[in-house]
Structures are given as C-alpha cells and as structure tokens.
Amino acid sequence: MRLATFSHDGQLRLGVIDPAAGTLTDLSVAAPDLPGDMNAFIALGADGLAAAQKAVDSAGDEARLALDAVTLHAPNWPPLRDPFAVGRNYHEHAQEFHDSGFDATSGATAVPDHPIIFTKATTSVSGPFDPIPAHLDQTNTTDYEGELAVIIGPGGRGISKDNAFDHVYGYTVSNDVTARTLQHQHKQWTIGKGLDGYCPMGPAILTADEAGDAREMRLRTWVNGEERQDAKVADLIFDIPTLIETLSEGITLLPGDVILTGTPVGVGIGFEPPVFLKSGDVVKVTIDPIGTIENKVE
Ligand code: MG
C-alpha cells in the first residue's frame, strides 16, 4: 500500500495512492473512523493496514481524488520528531566526501568504524514536490543527497538485527539536502543539514509488505535531467538491521520515526571543482519501486 498525507479543501487527510490510475483514495471519506494523522495510523500496525485496504476495496467514486487535484505532504506530516539520518554510509560516497575537503569529522579514514548518526530538524521536513529554499544558505553551497528513508512501525528499545525488519513499517524517498560550508564550519551537522525545507520526503510510504527486499531497491538522482546518482541499496556500509540495532540500543524508537539511510556516490561536492545547486535547478530522486520526489531550488 502507498500511504500519503495530503491537503484537500484546506484539510489535512490520509490517503492511499494508486499510481497506475493517478488517483488517491481519501481515507477521511472511505474510512472516517481511522485516525487522520499518519503517525497515529502507523501505531495501529497491521490492523490499520487491513482496515485501510478494506476501505480502498469498497470505496466509491466520492472517495477518489485525482492526484493532481491534491497537495501531497511528507508522508507522515506533521513529523513526530527530528528524522534520524546516517552519514557516510556508501563506500564510494564516503571516499568522495572524505576527498572533498568538506568533511570536518572523518580524520584519516573515509569509512567509519561505527554508523555516523545525526538528526535533521523537524522544520526541515517538507513535501515531495515542495521547493528547496536554498536562499536560506548564505554560503551558497547547497547540495543534494538522494536517500532511502525507513519508516519505523512497532517501536522499542534494544531491537536486535535479527528482529529489525519486524519494526520496519515501510519506506519512502528523501533528499538529505545539505549546506556544505555550514556542515564543514560547524563540525556537527545540525545546522548544515537542518535548514527549513532541507528534507523533502515522499511521495508516499510504500509499506514493507509490498516493498520486497530493500537491498534490491535502485536509487537514482537527476539535476536538471542529468543523472548524478545511481546505486543499489545493497551497497550500504551499515545495513538497515544494523542501523536499527545501533539506534535503538539506548533510544526508544517510536511508531512513525524516520531514518534516512545515507546517500551514494555522485553528490555535487564529488565534482572537481564542486558543483552546487542554484536557483531554478530541479532535483529529482527516484527509488524503484517506491516513487519519485522532485524539488525546485529557490
Ligand atoms: Mg545524507
């Protein structure tokens, strides 16, 4: 199932997207008893999914909307809390970042011994087709990072690798947009990666039961139609079970938590000289089989 949060008639609602038909089933009409907040819906687990599926199967025309008639938000909008994210988690990207001069953290080696975990500010989260407000970066060094994001279902602490996928609710597409000079000069990444609108996500959560093996997913990023990134999720240095085990060791994960898993090689600072985003650029990230986000730089 492809679950989305959208606005229609000035109201925030949940929907189930049918990409082939270009439509969405409005759950506020088809299943009015279900929660209207994605994080509350995720907390219902399999029961919520079964109820939503039943509603989709029996929905009449009054519950279906054309996708181009609604505004899609980040799938679990409003965010529960800061999304978690992972730095330097693909081998070739770890090397390109290490070599770029913009990494103030790596020391002598490109590949980290342990996952590098940070968070992006709640207010950085934006919708799948929202503009990227790069004018907020006074250093004019804004860069893209196409990433697979994991959505947590059942929460918990002390989750082992063996059980990690039992806690994955689904997946979405994200762009860990980064102001490189701010990332470098402040050492920690909170400012450089946390600017407002620097975390577009969507267009939907593809639930784990339909997503197949995440390692087989293919991530591609284009800037103005030019392909910049093309990688398999299987190339992650620290895989999804390792990330969940590491994060949950002493932090309770909550239903609706988001983990951006890292970006592959091909970001703007990998070029010599670096190529940064500029006003008017369009960044598109596709992960098969989840979908596409596309964001214009402003
Ligand atoms: Mg990243």
Same topology between domain 2-72 and domain 84-296: no
How many angstroms does the Cα of residue 216 sit away from the middle of ligand 1? Answer: 19
How many angstroms does the Cα of residue 298 sit away from the middle of ligand 1? Answer: 20
How many angstroms does the Cα of residue 123 sit away from the middle of ligand 1? Answer: 17
Q: What is the pLDDT of residue 255?
A: 98
- Stretches in the chain below the pLDDT threshold 50: none
**CATH class, 2-72 region:** mainly beta
Q: What is the pLDDT of residue 170?
A: 98
For the stretch 9-65, pLDDT in tens is: 899 999 999 999 999 999 999 999 999 999 999 999 999 999 999 999 999 999 999
How many angstroms does the Cα of residue 68 sit away from the middle of ligand 1? Answer: 29
How many angstroms does the Cα of residue 50 sit away from the middle of ligand 1? Answer: 34
How many angstroms does the Cα of residue 130 sit away from the middle of ligand 1? Answer: 19
Compute the C-alpha angle 230/134/190, nearest 5°.
Answer: 80
How many angstroms does the Cα of residue 89 sit away from the middle of ligand 1? Answer: 8
**CATH class, 84-296 region:** alpha beta
How many angstroms does the Cα of residue 295 sit away from the middle of ligand 1? Answer: 16
Q: Spell out the domain ranges in the chain.
A: 2-72, 84-296
Q: What is the pLDDT of residue 235?
A: 95
Residues with CB under 5 A from ligand 1 (ion): 145, 176, 263
Q: What is the pLDDT of residue 104?
A: 87
Q: What is the pLDDT of residue 109?
A: 81
How many angstroms does the Cα of residue 2 sit away from the middle of ligand 1? Answer: 24
How many angstroms does the Cα of residue 267 sit away from the middle of ligand 1? Answer: 10
Q: What is the pLDDT of residue 125?
A: 98
Q: What is the pLDDT of residue 220?
A: 98
